[in-house]
């Protein structure tokens, strides 16, 4: 089965083709970072308009790529949510229209299931069951993954997502957008002994997260130093490092707790913040100390991409009874509904 995956939930337009026998065939991405940078964050209306201009040429590009060799698609997977509604609608309408025209099924994919399954695209995929730490710009989730499609949320952020905290802290320090990579880069030159920021909610039982207090702590510290005219490059690096260490340590404590609580022996990290090298190194140590193993996708598949949507679409299409997939031109297919808010437990 060959499946075209389309991702337009936020600020990346991406398309990819996955083949159930040959694996990932081709993937392409067009980033909107330059478009949103001047505003210091994603402007939803601009994101949607850019997806409209970019998606069809990108789809055309993967379909006519030498890697695809002119093969026809058996299904189209598109991100149906969660995400920005205008942005989602672009992928949903193009995905469903193409599927309708070609007489093949359109498969609605949950963006976070895409992230969760992204490590399956690697050479050594994690066997089920495992614990998944999903850390993106919109979500921080700890999920017990029994098998494909069997997900139980163990903990989540009660306020800001981890990526959001990175982005807001970077803005505060004038490090630009997107904040995660900017903070990590600057933090490399930081002195770990200068500041120590709180590890939120680690002394309370449970697996939920909260990052807004940490963000406020960074803001108060930064404002005080700024008022004293002492916010030089070294101080910014020291604050960035203290922030990164606080987030990484907090995520590590909760992942360790989730592994102990469930008895699982494998952890996967996915989502944009999963590209953070300090987080990867720390979780490798945390899991090794517990006699467990860690898995993560290559960096480009931690952040948003079409490959994970194509793969999740393949997994979903295996679960849909044949009668549904063989008749794509039904009323459900003709409507372009998306789910900007959508729990991983209600797919």
Residue among 5, 105, 114, 137 that touches ligand KG4 (CB under 6 A): 137
Residue among 126, 180, 200, 306 that touches ligand KG4 (CB under 6 A): 180
Is 178 an interacting residue with respect to ligand KG4 (CB under 6 A)? yes
User: Rounded to the nearest whole angstrom, what is the least distance from the CB of residue 111 to Zn ion in the complex?
Assistant: 6
* CB nearer to ligand KG4: pick between 46 and 63: 46
Phi, psi dihedrals of residue 170, rounded to the nearest 5°? -65, -40
Closest CA to 306 of 91, 133, 94, 85: 91
The DSSP result for 171-200, as a single string, is: HHTT--SSHHHHHHHHHTT--TTT-----T
How far CA 181 is from CA of 34, 124, 167, 245, in Å, comes to: 15, 26, 9, 14
User: Rounded to the nearest whole angstrom, what is the least distance from the CB of residue 98 to ligand KG4 in the complex?
Assistant: 24
Phi, psi dihedrals of residue 109, rounded to the nearest 5°? -115, 140
Residue among 138, 252, 297, 328 that touches ligand KG4 (CB under 6 A): 138
How far CA 296 is from CA of 182, 183, 223, 293, in Å, comes to: 21, 21, 36, 10
Number of residues that bind ligand KG4 (CB under 6 A): 19
Task: State the Cα angle at 110 between 104 and 116, rounded to 5°.
Answer: 115
Choose from Zn ion, ligand KG4, none: what does 297 bind? Cβ within 5-8 Å by kind: none
Q: How far apart are CA 260 and CA 83, in angstroms?
A: 32
* CB nearer to ligand KG4: pick between 238 and 244: 244
User: Rounded to the nearest whole angstrom, what is the least distance from the CB of residue 166 to ligand KG4 in the complex?
Assistant: 4
Residues of the shown chain interacting with Zn ion in the complex, contacts defined by CB under 5 A? 136, 304
Is 272 an interacting residue with respect to ligand KG4 (CB under 6 A)? yes
User: Rounded to the nearest whole angstrom, what is the least distance from the CB of residue 97 to ligand KG4 in the complex?
Assistant: 24
DSSP run (H or E) holding 164:
helix 162-172
- Cβ-in-10-Å burial (0-12, 13-18, 19+) of 125 comes to middle
Residue among 8, 32, 303, 317 that touches ligand KG4 (CB under 6 A): 303
* CB nearer to ligand KG4: pick between 163 and 328: 163
User: Rounded to the nearest whole angstrom, what is the least distance from the CB of residue 279 to ligand KG4 in the complex?
Assistant: 7
Residue among 8, 54, 68, 136 that touches ligand KG4 (CB under 6 A): 136
Distance of alpha carbon 301 from the chain centroid: 8
Phi, psi dihedrals of residue 337, rounded to the nearest 5°? -80, 140
* CB nearer to Zn ion: pick between 167 and 304: 304
Distance of alpha carbon 102 from the chain centroid: 30
Residue 9 DSSP class: S
User: Rounded to the nearest whole angstrom, what is the least distance from the CB of residue 312 to ligand KG4 in the complex?
Assistant: 13
What percent of the chain is helix, strand and coil (3-state, nearest 5)?
Answer: 50, 20, 35
Is 296 an interacting residue with respect to ligand KG4 (CB under 6 A)? no
* CB nearer to ligand KG4: pick between 73 and 175: 175
User: Rounded to the nearest whole angstrom, what is the least distance from the CB of residue 280 to ligand KG4 in the complex?
Assistant: 9
Cβ-proximal residues to 288 (8 Å cutoff; 6+ apart), any chain:
294
Within 155-174, which residues bind ligand KG4 (CB under 6 A)? 163, 166-167
Choose from ligand KG4, Zn ion, none: what does 119 bind? Cβ within 5-8 Å by kind: none
Is 54 an interacting residue with respect to ligand KG4 (CB under 6 A)? no
Residues near ligand KG4, by CB under 6 A: 10, 136-138, 163, 166-167, 178-181, 184, 271-273, 275-276, 303-304
């Amino acid at each position: 089965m060959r499946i075209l995956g389309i991702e337009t939930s936020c600020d990346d337009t991406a398309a990819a083709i996955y083949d159930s026998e040959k694996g990932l065939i081709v993937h392409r991405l067009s980033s909107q970072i330059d478009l949103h940078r001047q505003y210091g964050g994603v402007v939803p209306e601009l994101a949607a308009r850019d997806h409209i201009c970019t998606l069809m040429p990108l789809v055309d590009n993967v379909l006519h790529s030498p890697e695809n060799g002119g093969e026809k698609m058996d299904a189209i997977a598109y991100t149906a949510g969660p995400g920005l509604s205008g942005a989602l609608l672009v992928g949903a309408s193009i995905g469903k229209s193409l599927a309708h025209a070609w007489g093949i099924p359109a498969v609605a994919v949950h963006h976070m299931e895409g992230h969760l399954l992204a490590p399956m695209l690697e050479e050594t995929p994690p066997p089920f069951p495992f614990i998944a730490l999903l850390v993106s710009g919109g979500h921080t989730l700890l999920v017990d993954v029994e098998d494909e499609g069997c997900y139980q949320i163990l903990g989540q952020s009660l306020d800001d997502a981890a990526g959001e905290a990175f982005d807001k802290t970077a803005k505060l320090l004038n490090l630009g957008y997107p904040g995660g990579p900017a903070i990590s880069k600057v933090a490399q030159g930081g002195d770990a002994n200068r500041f120590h920021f709180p590890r939120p909610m680690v002394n309370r039982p449970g697996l939920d997260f909260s990052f807004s207090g940490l963000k406020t702590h960074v803001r108060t510290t930064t404002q005080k130093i700024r008022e004293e005219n002492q916010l030089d490059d070294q101080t910014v690096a020291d604050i960035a490092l203290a922030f990164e260490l606080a987030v990484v340590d907090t995520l590590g404590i909760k992942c360790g707790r989730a592994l102990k609580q469930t008895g699982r022996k494998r952890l996967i990290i996915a989502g944009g913040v999963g590209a953070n090298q300090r987080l990867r190194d720390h979780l490798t140590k945390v899991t090794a100390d517990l006699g467990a193993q860690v898995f993560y996708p290559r960096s480009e598949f931690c952040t948003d991409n079409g490959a994970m949507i194509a793969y999740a679409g393949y997994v979903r299409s295996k679960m849909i009874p044949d009668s549904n997939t063989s008749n794509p031109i039904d009323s459900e297919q003709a409507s372009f509904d998306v789910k900007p808010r959508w729990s991983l437990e209600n797919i």
